[in-house]
Amino acid sequence: MKVLVTGSSGLPGRDVLRQLDGRGISCRGADAPEFKVTDSEAVYRLVDEYAPDVIVHCAAYTNVDKAASEPATCAAVNGSGALTMSRAALRVGARLLLLSTAQVFSGEGDRPNPVSAPYGPKNVYAMSMVQAEDAVRSLMTRYYIVRTGSLFGNSKDPVRSVLRAAQDRRSLTLSCDRVIQPTWSKDLARVICDVIATESFGIWHARNSRGACTPAEFAEMVMKKSGVSCQVIPVHDADLPSHVRRPLNGRLAAKLPDGITPMPDLSDALDRYLQEINR
């Protein structure tokens, strides 16, 4: 099996490449500035030349706040980009995995969103991901859509933000009423690699289990486990400086193909991540 991973320098593309390499699977990464998903001819050329069996499409415009002022760019990267990748996959007979988000849902209620929940995007970014999912579903039959929660695993993630704030003796103002599913990118990468080894096509939900919490609660968890302290100022999501609406209920009902090991608890994932960054 040969796998092409787009967005290979970001989360979780980087970790997907490492997982594939560790399994002895032939793989190649593609990312900006050499690779632009908005350049359809370049996409077709790359896919035609490499002829992958599977494309793991992680490349995306993910800055939710900035997307509000750049809707055309966001739609071009996420929506049109997924359409181009689907067409490229069909040209070479490849399967396609699209990484998506819990933000495609409205965020109403307090129950975990099942894979069959209706769309209800609240912002430009979320709408672009609905367009991406629709593009894949409309063109392909051999596809996987994997929705996940709020990823951590790099220098700009919420975990490092708490650690930096503690070191600098700064406070953090965080939502106390928006529920997210923090997910370690390494655990997600393992699931992605497990999924593409099957022919269990369709939509799946992958996130660390027992981890639904508010951003303020997640910060408290990080401080407790790391032994650091900073002031967390809890506020309602609507009172945060960002004017972009996000779904208040980002819970995902986990669903993976039969035979794939469920993702570990968030507490366990956070322990392992903190150990890794403190080495």
Residue 100 lies in a domain: yes
Q: What pLDDT, on the 0 to 100 scale, is given for residue 242?
A: 86
125 counts as catalytic:
yes
In angstroms, rounded to a whole number, what is the distance separating the alpha carbons of residues 9 and 11?
7
What percent of the chain is helix, strand and coil (3-state, nearest 5)?
A: 40, 20, 40
* Phi, psi of 26, deg, nearest 5: -65, 130
Residue 150 lies in a domain: yes
Q: Provide the domain limits for residue 69.
A: 2-154+182-210+252-263
Residue 240 lies in a domain: no
Residue 200 lies in a domain: yes
Q: What pLDDT, on the 0 to 100 scale, is given for residue 33?
A: 85
Least Cα distance to 221 among 151, 130, 158 occurs for 158
- pTM of model > 0.85: yes
Q: What pLDDT, on the 0 to 100 scale, is given for residue 228?
A: 94
For 165, which DSSP code? H
Residue 80 lies in a domain: yes
Per-residue model confidence as pLDDT tens for the chain (279 residues): 999 999 999 999 999 999 999 999 999 999 988 899 999 999 999 999 999 999 999 999 999 999 999 999 999 999 999 999 999 999 999 999 999 999 999 999 999 999 999 999 999 999 999 999 999 999 999 999 999 999 999 989 999 999 999 999 999 999 999 999 999 999 999 999 999 999 999 999 999 999 999 999 999 999 999 999 999 999 999 999 888 999 999 999 999 999 999 999 999 999 999 999 987
Active-site residue, from 61, 119, 125, 273: 125
Least Cα distance to 207 among 118, 144, 269 occurs for 269
Residue 195 lies in a domain: yes
Q: What is the DSSP string of 60-73?
A: ----HHHHTT-HHH
Q: What pLDDT, on the 0 to 100 scale, is given for residue 243?
A: 81
* Phi, psi of 244, deg, nearest 5: -85, 125
Distant-in-sequence, close-in-space partners of 105: CB < 8 Å, separation ≥ 6 = 113, 117, 118, 119, 120, 247, 249, 250
Residue 63 carries which side chain, given as an amino acid letter? N
| Contact in structure between 214 and 266 (CB atoms under 8 Å) | no
| Contact in structure between 139 and 171 (CB atoms under 8 Å) | no
Residue 131 lies in a domain: yes
Helices (H), 152-254: 158-168, 185-196, 215-226
| Contact in structure between 274 and 225 (CB atoms under 8 Å) | yes
Q: What pLDDT, on the 0 to 100 scale, is given for residue 2?
A: 98
Residue 206 lies in a domain: yes
Q: Which helix (H) or strand (E) holds 13?
A: helix 13-22
Distant-in-sequence, close-in-space partners of 46: CB < 8 Å, separation ≥ 6 = 4, 30, 35, 88
Q: What pLDDT, on the 0 to 100 scale, is given for residue 32?
A: 86
Where residue 70 sits, what CATH number does that domain have?
3.40.50.720
In angstroms, rounded to a whole number, what is the distance separating the alpha carbons of residues 179 and 181?
7
Distant-in-sequence, close-in-space partners of 107: CB < 8 Å, separation ≥ 6 = 120, 122, 178, 246, 247, 248, 249, 250
* Overall number of domains in the chain: 1
In angstroms, rounded to a whole number, what is the distance separating the alpha carbons of residues 6 and 27?
11
